[in-house]
């Protein structure tokens, strides 16, 4: 019983961060129909950002998120405005290939600069895990969990309550109708892409103290990310949140009750089953 | 004119080791030809039927492991193992095709990525069969006499001729495909799958056939990979990066063209291997850059564009 609760808790903690990455990918897909293969590399950016902050600037990684969110937003604006904008009308497959190229370019650029060495971030206050009710909770993951929830709530509020958020949701539902209602679709696309990038990057900052850092980490993360958004239905924000948490819990239960080496495969198997039998996602809200 | 160029190119292909014999150059040409086979393999599916697969490493890995395991456990020499590896890859492609082709466009691409990851994880963990992450190693290749002389496997030239023959076969197969019904059906599917279905083409069967043919060549290239490097492990032959590299070579060279994969491999692999010699890491940076440039400015690929230019000029 204790192992069960323990694995549910660990799953929820990781799942909250998966959810953040997934939400980023899904809003981008919803508005622009881009399957962004470089999304994982934005997470990697955030992880290296956290590493740079603590090694060179001596800023706590969790605090450094205040620098990296706006920076990632501008990187997102730049990528969309100068690299992606002309490609998007060429169709989903071309953007898929283009962002795959972008992903390889970014990962290898970082590989050249930072080398392929595995790096870790050590926090002085995070040597021992917290132990509420006999359950072990690593401190960095607990802080990351709290911040992920705050960021997700802020995002939700933004999407539901602000005009820009409404414009994003409207464009996601029906771009032409949104344009006819006076939504500046082009501006909305830039903001959405930048927002998605900022989410991925801040998830990277939060994940950094709990994972190993290496330049091609994005490859694995982006694959997980697809699992998450397909589980929840592509284009659906609540779906991506649920999908992220679900994947986190399934992985951690799988590691305990199935086998550690196959825990990553479980996600992919579920992914295939959902794609084949419920292409609109487990909750039936996404668009296929 | 065209025939003369083709004959000259084939002569050059077989005479190349005599013209330049530096070991690095021979290695480079072997890599270019191996990637030509892989690019051609991807092109048979991706170029003709328009189905973007991000999981072709599965077939490369299946071929590599088949060749290696047949040799290590049953003593079957790699020259039988390589074609058998291709057949095994083609067989594995059948169930994968029937499952994944229920999906379209980007969803198909994502499903192939997932299948490839599942198979990589299985290869990594099925230790009794694949030896897991430790990988498989051949120390010596069996002795073969050719024209009365024993072939020296420490020399790269025999490998060059083996891969040259395979690459030629892959290119000829692409040419034949472009001339047959399978090719025509595939192109119809690429242009508009619903219309193809409406005029009576069995789109699932056609795509599975193209995938299987494509997988055969990837498997053969995998078998060659195992024999040439004499060492394989799951992360070397089943990685996402390999699948992505195949896509890039086919797209950069020119989709649906016969010579495109060769041109793509010459451009990307030459640069990549040279870059690797100098910087050791990050040689794929140029692949990413070229992909972005090609999609943005040359959607028909380098060879596709050149060919268009020749056609309009003459």
> For chain B, which residues make up each domain, given as ranges?
22-139+150-313
* Residue A44, both tokens: 């990697």
**A interface mutation test: which of B55, B56, B58, B107 has the most A CBs within 10 A?**
B107
Predicted confidence at residue A288, as pLDDT, reads: 40
**Beta-carbon separation of B106 and A92 below 8 A:** yes
Distance of CA B19 to the CA centre of its chain: 26
Query: Which residues in chain B touch residue A265, judged by CB atoms under 8 angstroms apart?
Result: 117-118, 121-122
The tally of CA atoms less than 13 A away on the side-chain side of residue A69 is 16
Crossing angle for the helix pair B157-179 and B181-191, nearest 10 degrees? 70
Residue-wise pLDDT for B190-229, tens only, equals 999 999 999 999 999 999 999 999 999 999 999 999 999 9
Query: Which residues in chain B touch residue A259, judged by CB atoms under 8 angstroms apart?
Result: 125
Query: Which residues in chain A touch residue B118, judged by CB atoms under 8 angstroms apart?
Result: 265, 268-269, 272
Q: Where are the alpha helices (DSSP H) in B43-180?
A: 48-49, 57-74, 78-100, 105-125, 127-130, 157-179
The tally of CA atoms less than 13 A away on the side-chain side of residue B229 is 16
| Alpha carbons A98 and B123: distance in angstroms, whole number | 30
Query: Which residues in chain A touch residue B240, judged by CB atoms under 8 angstroms apart?
Result: 219, 223
Could you report the predicted ipTM of this complex, rounded to two decimals?
A: 0.87
Task: Tell me the shortest Cα–Cα distance from A93 to chain B, in angstroms.
Answer: 6
The pTM for the full model equals 0.90
User: So what CATH class is B22-139+150-313?
Assistant: mainly alpha
User: Least CA distance to B190: which residue of chain A?
Assistant: A93
* pLDDT tens digit at each of 288 positions of chain A: 778 888 888 889 989 999 999 999 998 988 888 888 999 999 999 999 999 888 888 888 888 889 899 999 999 999 999 888 888 888 888 888 999 999 999 999 998 888 878 888 877 776 777 777 777 778 888 888 999 999 999 998 998 898 888 888 888 888 788 888 888 888 888 999 999 999 999 999 999 888 888 888 888 888 888 888 888 888 888 889 999 999 999 988 988 888 777 888 888 898 888 888 887 777 765 444
* Residue B99, both tokens: 């499952």
H or E element at residue A161:
helix A139-161
Do the Cβ atoms of A243 and A22 come closer than 8 Å?
yes
The end-to-end CA distance of chain A, in Å, is 39
**Beta-carbon separation of B102 and A276 below 8 A:** yes
**A interface mutation test: which of B52, B104, B292, B297 has the most A CBs within 10 A?**
B292
H or E element at residue B223:
helix B203-229
Residues with pLDDT less than 50, chain B: none
Instruction: Using a CB–CB cutoff of 8 Å, tell me whether A35 touches chain B.
Output: yes
Q: Tell me the C-alpha to C-alpha distance, in Å, between residue B196 and each of B48, B75, B172, B193.
A: 13, 47, 26, 5
Task: Tell me the shortest Cα–Cα distance from B176 to chain A, in angstroms.
Answer: 27
Task: Tell me the shortest Cα–Cα distance from A77 to chain B, in angstroms.
Answer: 18
CB atoms within 10 A of CB B35: 28
Residues in A 154-173 with any Cβ partner in B closer than 8 A: none
Task: Tell me the shortest Cα–Cα distance from B70 to chain A, in angstroms.
Answer: 26
Task: Tell me the shortest Cα–Cα distance from B152 to chain A, in angstroms.
Answer: 36
Instruction: Using a CB–CB cutoff of 8 Å, tell me whether A68 touches chain B.
Output: no
Instruction: Using a CB–CB cutoff of 8 Å, tell me whether A109 touches chain B.
Output: yes
Could you tell me which of A181, A188, A195 has the C-alpha nearest to residue A164?
A: A188
């Amino acid at each position: 019983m204790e192992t069960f609760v323990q694995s549910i808790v660990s799953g929820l903690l990781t799942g909250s961060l998966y959810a953040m990455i997934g939400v980023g990918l899904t809003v981008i897909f919803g508005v622009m129909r881009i399957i962004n293969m470089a999304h994982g590399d934005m997470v990697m950016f955030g992880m290296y950002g956290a590493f740079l902050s603590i090694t060179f600037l001596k800023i706590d990684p969790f605090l450094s998120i205040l620098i990296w969110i706006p920076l990632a937003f501008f990187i997102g604006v730049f990528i969309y405005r100068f690299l992606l904008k002309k490609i998007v009308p060429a169709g989903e497959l071309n953007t898929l290939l283009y962002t795959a190229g972008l992903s390889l370019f970014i990962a290898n650029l970082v590989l050249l600069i930072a080398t392929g060495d595995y790096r870790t971030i050590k926090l002085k206050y995070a040597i021992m895990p917290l132990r509420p009710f006999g359950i072990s909770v690593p401190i960095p993951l607990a802080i990351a969990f709290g911040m992920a929830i705050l960021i997700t709530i802020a995002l939700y509020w933004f999407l539901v309550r602000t005009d820009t958020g409404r414009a994003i949701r409207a464009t996601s539902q029906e771009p032409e109708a949104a344009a006819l209602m006076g939504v500046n679709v082009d501006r909305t696309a830039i903001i959405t892409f930048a927002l998605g990038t900022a989410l991925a990057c801040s998830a990277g900052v939060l994940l950094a103290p709990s994972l190993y850092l290496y330049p091609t980490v994005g490859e694995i993360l982006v694959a997980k990310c697809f699992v998450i958004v397909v589980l929840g239905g592509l284009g659906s924000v609540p779906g991506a949140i649920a999908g992220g948490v679900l994947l986190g819990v399934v992985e951690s239960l799988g590691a305990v009750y199935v086998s550690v080496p196959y825990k990553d495969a479980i996600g992919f198997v579920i992914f295939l089953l959902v794609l084949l039998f419920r292409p609109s996602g487990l909750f039936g809200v996404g668009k296929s | 004119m065209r025939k003369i160029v083709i004959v000259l190119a084939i002569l050059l292909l077989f005479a190349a080791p005599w013209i330049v014999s530096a070991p690095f150059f021979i290695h480079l040409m072997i890599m270019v030809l191996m990637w030509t086979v892989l690019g051609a393999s991807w092109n048979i599916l991706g170029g003709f039927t328009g189905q973007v697969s991000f999981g072709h490493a599965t077939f490369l890995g299946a071929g590599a492991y088949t060749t290696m395991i047949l040799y290590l456990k049953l003593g079957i020499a790699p020259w039988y193992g390589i074609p058998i590896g291709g057949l095994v890859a083609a067989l594995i492609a059948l169930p994968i095709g029937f499952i994944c082709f229920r999906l379209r466009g980007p969803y198909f691409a994502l499903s192939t990525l997932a299948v490839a990851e599942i198979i990589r994880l299985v290869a990594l963990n099925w230790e009794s069969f694949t030896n897991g992450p430790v990988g498989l190693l051949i120390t010596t290749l069996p002795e073969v006499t050719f024209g009365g002389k024993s072939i020296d496997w420490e020399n790269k030239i025999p490998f060059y001729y083996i891969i040259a023959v395979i690459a030629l076969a892959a290119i000829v197969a692409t040419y034949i495909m472009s001339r047959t019904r399978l090719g025509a059906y595939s192109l119809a599917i690429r242009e508009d799958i619903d219309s193809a279905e409406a005029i009576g083409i069995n789109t699932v069967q056609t795509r599975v056939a193209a995938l299987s043919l494509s997988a055969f060549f990837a498997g053969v290239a995998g078998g060659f990979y195992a024999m040439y490097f004499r060492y394989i492990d799951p992360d070397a032959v089943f990685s996402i990066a390999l699948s992505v590299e195949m896509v890039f070579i086919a797209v950069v060279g020119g989709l649906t063209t016969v010579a495109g994969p060769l041109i793509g491999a010459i451009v990307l692999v030459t640069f990549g291997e040279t870059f690797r010699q100098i910087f050791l890491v990050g040689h794929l940076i140029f692949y990413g850059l070229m992909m972005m440039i090609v999609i943005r400015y040359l959607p028909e690929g380098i060879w596709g564009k050149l060919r268009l230019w020749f056609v309009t000029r003459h």
